[in-house]
Amino acid sequence: MCLRNEEEFFRGVVPIGRTAVSKTDGWGFESLHPCQFLAESTQVRQIMSVNTENQTNSLDLVKWVAVAALLSAAVIGNYIFDDLSVVLRALGVVVLVVVAGLVAAQTNKGKTFLGFAKESRTEVRKVVWPTRKEASQTTLIVIVATVIVALILWGLDGIFVRVVGLATGIRI
């Protein structure tokens, strides 16, 4: 149960009317009230998040505008310079897209994405991939099961067509 006010927190009083079991009555020791940690960690997270957002939102916004401008330049430039060689236009588009990607990687969302990509790569390395034989056998099982279900559905469809034909008097 959470404490109702700060006075109870500092006195070490349990709000449900029980007396302290310990001889120290909570003095000189850290409290183990369950809500204390939740409240403190939530306040710290909120303060940190507000500070971080205020510092990086303006810079991130500028970076995202730059990314949009670079990608727009790639599309518009490819359209405007249609008289140039396809190879040169493709090279220009690739360069602008790579630069836009590098700028995007410097934003908070970009850094988060890169961290996610690194963790995903690490997890993929941990996967035990099936052998060729296991993959072939599993593929064969899936194909056989698909054929069996297809035949069952084809048979049921034929039966339903005949039943509906008999009920309505229409021959197909």
DSSP secondary structure code for residue 7 in this structure = H
Give the integer Cα–Cα distance in Å for 97 and 113: 17
Structure confidence by residue, pLDDT tens digits, 126-169? 999 999 999 999 999 999 999 999 999 999 999 999 999 999 98
Q: What is the Cα–Cα distance from 150 to 161, expressed in whole angstroms?
A: 16
pTM for the structure as a whole: 0.47
Contact present, 35 and 2 (Cβ < 8 Å) = yes
Please name the residue that has the structure tokens 């194909």: 143
Q: What are phi and psi of 145, to 5 degrees?
A: -65, -40
The contacts of residue 76 (CB under 8 Å, 6+ apart) are none
User: Domain limits of the chain?
Assistant: 57-127, 131-172
Report the C-alpha gap between 75 and 71 in whole angstroms: 6
Most confident range (mean pLDDT) of 18-27, 30-39, 64-73, 160-169 is 64-73
Average pLDDT score, the chain: 81
> Residue 2 pLDDT more than 60?
no
Residue 168, CA atoms < 13 Å, CB-side half-sphere = 9
